[in-house]
């Protein structure tokens, strides 16, 4: 295997470079080289360049921020430091600050021990595979090691004191100007993450009464029993406080899940159903199409079809949803997990934009969230996550393949089976969808059992 092929496995995955902090590939050495490579790749004009660096609240963020900034500056490019900042805010700030690129230091919904580095180009979109490969080649070939600016040309690093205020104004401008949130009681869980100050301020400035939780980050409590990965926290708090809605963000605030006024969970599929139907009714849905993923419930297709629209499906991962949105000229898409892209406003998933769009539907229609969510009649699904020791091709594991084929046969064309690996974690995911909950649960467990036997992780054997 040549270096270029090997580098793909060592660095970029489906969402940047990810791993345990201070272990390969998430080390200071790699971060420094990534900074140098980014400085080189994004410096393509004869002028002074600048790259923004933002992060979430993980302990290791300080270490990687310093290493990246040093690498970028060593290439003669200036750095704009914005501190803790949601991932989607970076896409906006690149344009607002006329930067050439942005770097986000975050592992999103993962625990604090993990961290990641992902890049945005000057147009606010995540890097295409070709750019990631260029960066990898610079690092693994050793070419970047000998590259540096002359002493008089090294870059400087600046703090941007008004970055938070800029993003809050952007968020408020995505909410209809003829509406406000006066009289609404909102439980908001910021996951002790990047939006811990921004999100409460934005909602309060629009008039909401905010009951905030997950707003005391200490470097180690990001996503810990809170946020979108643990919506039970907002579900309980909504009922306890008699709130109208609960909003749960993840560590970098690019996704959001909700709780209605009864404490019932509202996931990404339900959000797409509510907002997609509303955009169809108001003739704002581009090409009458919603982009979902292969994991999204079939019930979403039924809702959108009933309103005269259609659903197209993309691979799992918000970057693939965005690619399909751009390719087809659509303006709404997302994932069951809560990544939703309102492309009229954003170039990536944005938890707060999603929350504000959902709140605008509630406000304009004057209906409870539970009533709006009733539009989605779900087809029964069973989803299982299995820890794995390696990501071996499914076709190479005959018992797993046999279990999948047997499940598909048992469903007789009245359901579907999807087995895939997580793009960011050492997990396999088994989804079985069909008419009989007991049957699909049994089929999913059967497939999961064969995966555990073949490649189960230390907790799965």
> What are the backbone dihedrals phi and psi of residue 66, each rounded to the nearest 5 degrees, phi first?
-65, -45
Where does the pLDDT of residue 234 fall: very low under 50, low under 70, confident under 90, or very high at 90 and above? very high
Predicted pLDDT of residue 128: 84
User: For 94, how many CA atoms within 13 A lie in the half-sphere containing its CB?
Assistant: 25
Helices 129-140 and 3-10 pack at an angle, to 10 degrees, of 110
Q: Are residues 297 and 438 in the same domain?
A: no
Predicted pLDDT of residue 4: 40
CATH number at residue 340: 3.40.120.10
Cβ atoms of 257 and 231 closer than 8 Å: yes
Q: What DSSP element (H or E) covers 157? A: strand 157-159
Q: Is 106 assigned a catalytic role?
A: no
Q: Are residues 250 and 271 in the same domain?
A: no
Helices 351-365 and 198-205 pack at an angle, to 10 degrees, of 20
In a domain, 359, yes or no: no
Whether the ω angle into residue 25 lies within 30 degrees of 0, i.e. cis, is: yes
Q: Domain range spanning residue 109?
A: 3-161
> The tokens 């301020």 sit on which residue?
201
Torsion of CA 384, 390, 393, 398, to 10 degrees: -70
> What are the backbone dihedrals phi and psi of residue 17, each rounded to the nearest 5 degrees, phi first?
-95, 130
> The tokens 């709780």 sit on which residue?
259
Q: Are residues 89 and 144 in the same domain?
A: yes
Share of the chain above pLDDT 90, in %: 87
Q: Are residues 272 and 323 in the same domain?
A: yes
Predicted pLDDT of residue 319: 87
> What are the backbone dihedrals phi and psi of residue 229, each rounded to the nearest 5 degrees, phi first?
-80, -15
Predicted pLDDT of residue 423: 75
Q: Are residues 134 and 57 in the same domain?
A: yes
Q: Are residues 250 and 192 in the same domain?
A: yes
- The candidate with the shortest Cα–Cα distance to 193, out of 232, 164, 223, 166, is 223
Predicted pLDDT of residue 459: 54
Q: Are residues 151 and 129 in the same domain?
A: yes
Q: Are residues 258 and 302 in the same domain?
A: no
Per-residue model confidence as pLDDT tens digits over 241-268: 999 999 999 999 999 999 999 999 999 9
Q: Is the pLDDT of residue 5 over 80?
A: no
* Number of folded domains that form the chain: 4
Q: Is the pLDDT of residue 175 over 50?
A: yes
Q: Are residues 156 and 55 in the same domain?
A: yes
In a domain, 276, yes or no: yes
User: For 213, how many CA atoms within 13 A lie in the half-sphere containing its CB?
Assistant: 23
In a domain, 366, yes or no: no
The catalytic residue among 60, 106, 108, 296 is 108
Q: Are residues 56 and 153 in the same domain?
A: yes
Q: Are residues 399 and 294 in the same domain?
A: no
Per-residue model confidence as pLDDT tens digits over 103-145: 999 999 999 999 999 999 999 998 888 889 999 999 999 999 9
């Amino acid at each position: 295997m040549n270096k270029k092929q090997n580098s793909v496995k060592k660095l970029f995955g489906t969402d940047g470079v990810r791993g345990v902090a201070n272990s390969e590939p998430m080390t200071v050495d790699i971060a420094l080289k990534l900074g140098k490579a980014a400085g080189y790749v994004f410096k393509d004009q004869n002028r002074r360049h600048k790259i923004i660096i933002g992060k979430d609240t993980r302990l290791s963020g300080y270490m990687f921020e310093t290493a990246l900034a040093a690498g970028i500056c060593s290439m003669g490019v200036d750095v704009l430091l914005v501190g803790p900042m949601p991932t989607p805010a970076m896409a906006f700030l690149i344009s607002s600050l006329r930067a050439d690129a942005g770097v986000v230091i975050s592992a999103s919904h993962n625990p604090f021990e993990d961290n990641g580095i992902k890049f945005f180009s000057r147009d606010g979109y995540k890097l295409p595979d070709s750019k990631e490969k260029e960066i990898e080649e610079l690092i693994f070939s050793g070419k970047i090691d000998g590259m540096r600016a002359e002493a008089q040309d090294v870059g400087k690093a600046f703090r941007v004191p008004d970055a938070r205020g800029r993003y809050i104004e952007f968020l408020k401008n995505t909410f209809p100007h003829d509406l406000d949130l006066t009289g609404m009681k909102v439980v908001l869980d910021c996951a002790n993450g990047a939006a811990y100050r921004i999100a409460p301020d934005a909602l309060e400035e629009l008039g909401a009464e905010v009951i905030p939780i997950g707003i005391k980050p200490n470097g180690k409590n990001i996503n810990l029993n809170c946020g979108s990965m643990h919506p039970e926290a907002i579900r309980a708090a909504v009922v306890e406080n008699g709130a109208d809605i609960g909003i749960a963000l993840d560590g970098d605030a690019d996704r959001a899940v909700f709780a209605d006024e009864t404490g019932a969970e509202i996931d990404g599929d339900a959000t797409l159903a509510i907002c997609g139907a509303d955009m169809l009714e108001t003739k704002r849905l581009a090409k009458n199409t919603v982009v979902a993923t292969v994991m999204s419930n079939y019930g979403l297709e039924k809702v959108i079809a009933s309103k005269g629209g259609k659903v197209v499906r993309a691979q799992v991962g918000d970057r693939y949803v965005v690619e399909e949105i751009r390719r087809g000229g659509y303006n709404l898409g997302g994932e069951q997990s809560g990544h939703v892209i309102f492309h009229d406003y954003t170039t990536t998933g944005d938890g707060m934009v999603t929350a504000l769009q959902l709140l605008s539907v509630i406000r304009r229609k004057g209906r409870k969230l539970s009533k709006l969510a009733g539009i989605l009649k779900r087809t029964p699904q069973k989803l299982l996550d299995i820890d794995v020791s390696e990501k071996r091709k499914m076709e190479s594991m005959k018992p797993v393949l046999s279990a999948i084929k047997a499940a598909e046969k048992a469903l007789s064309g009245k359901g579907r089976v999807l087995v895939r690996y997580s793009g960011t974690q050492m997990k396999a995911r088994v989804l079985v969808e069909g008419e009989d909950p007991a049957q699909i649960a049994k089929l999913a467990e059967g497939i999961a059992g064969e995966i555990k036997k073949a490649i189960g992780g230390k907790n799965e054997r």
